[in-house]
Amino acid sequence: MQLLGRLSTKTFLSQFWQKRPLLVRQAIPGFAGLVQASELLALATRDDVESRLVSRRRGAWQLRYGPFARAEIARLPTKNWTILLQGLNQVVPAADALLRSFRFIPYARLDDVMVSYAAPGGGVGPHVDSYDVFLLQGPGRRRWSVGRPRRWTLDPKAPLKILREFRPQVSWLLEPGDLLYLPPGWGHEGVALEPSSTYSIGFRAPSDQEIAGEFLAYLQDRIELGGLYADPGMRLQRHPAAIPARMVRHAAIVTRRVRWKERDVSRFLGEYLSTPKPQVLFLRPRRRLSPGEFARRLSTRGLRLDLRTQMLFRSRDFFINGERIESSARTRAWLERLADERSVPPISLPETLLPLLHSWFLAGWIRLGDRGE
């Protein structure tokens, strides 16, 4: 597998990443997809998989959200529709492996694998993403038209963000195994020429507003300011409904007392970026192993992170599914390996980690062995 063709990751990152598109022919030669079309459509009926149906009828775009009934899917027409499945990597191990093959980008930036299964003529219209994306063509062919970033305008009548007056500069026909990278802001449209699947590897790019808002929410439970507003010598006020100027000045002084350090920001990012999406549910193990039995099986089978688990670290701080753990010198290397590789073989580990790992196992965050329990 040569995801970037003859390019080194260093060259790609310096010359293409967030700069210009890149088309790689046969990045995965003979790529047959990760799941069959029938399995993709079956996933759209599940309530634990985020799915959407985009269709176009008589020039008008339509958008519907899943899960969908099997009879509903069976009644779909022969052309001009697409089913989108978000977070395929959370339910299909092969999709998670595909996502991790892009590990030359930090996990903190990786988002998920989305698959779109389209009938002939199907697509989601010309649009623009605010994040980087790799488009890997599965079975079938799809034509992609791409336009340079500019001041885009949206179709106010469409139920999704469709570009108006889309004028592409280049067009490519993608066949199974071809890979197209697009930086943020580039307009693009994919149209299926036949029943086809496209796997989109998306990257997380939180807005400044999102980061600031979430950080302020993070701070509110972690700051302690002593003091209490007081107003001795109060004078009679002409308008009782008017907010006193003294109260405004006091509040301004209080807010200026709020301080934070870079480590506070680092810990916020770790918890924020590792927090699973709201619809994610963890499945607890079928057998509730005792700590002793868990330790014995761990020593012979190893463990892996659940597909839904997010694990990151910075320095001694480790973050898993929104929680922070501070490592010791003895546990740091072991936890780094688990976070990087997302699995560890049957090897000896610090005994101080066993209670923590056992609690993660009972919560469904980690699994034993290659297949888990």
Among candidates 145, 137, 127, 110, which has minimal Cα distance to 184? 127
- pLDDT band, residue 102 (cuts 50/70/90): very high
Q: Are 164 and 155 in contact (CB under 8 A)?
A: yes
**C-alpha distances out from residue 267 to 98, 217, 260, 336, Å:** 28, 13, 11, 16
Angle among Cα 41, 197, 3 to the nearest 5 degrees reads 135
Among candidates 53, 173, 38, 40, which has minimal Cα distance to 113? 40
The reported pLDDT for the residue numbered 1 is 56
Q: Strand pairing of 133-137 and 196-203? A: antiparallel
- pLDDT band, residue 347 (cuts 50/70/90): confident
- pLDDT band, residue 372 (cuts 50/70/90): very low
- pLDDT band, residue 59 (cuts 50/70/90): confident
Average pLDDT value for residue range 177-192: 97
- pTM of the predicted model, to two decimals? 0.92
Sheet of 81-85, strand order: 22-24, 179-182, 133-137, 196-203, 110-118, 81-85, 51-57, 60-65
Residue 41 has pLDDT above 50, yes or no: yes
| CA 303 – CA 118 distance, rounded (Å) | 37
Query: Residue 292 is which amino acid?
Result: G
Query: Which DSSP state fits 346?
Result: S
Among candidates 204, 202, 7, which has minimal Cα distance to 95? 202
User: What would the pLDDT profile of 119-153 be if each residue is shown by its tens digit?
Assistant: 999 999 999 999 999 999 999 999 999 999 999 99
Query: Residue 33 is which amino acid?
Result: G
| CA 158 – CA 242 distance, rounded (Å) | 46
Indicate the SS3 state at residue 103: coil
Q: Catalogue all structural domains in the chain, each as residue range(s) with its CATH number.
A: 9-203 (2.60.120.650), 291-368 (3.40.366.30)
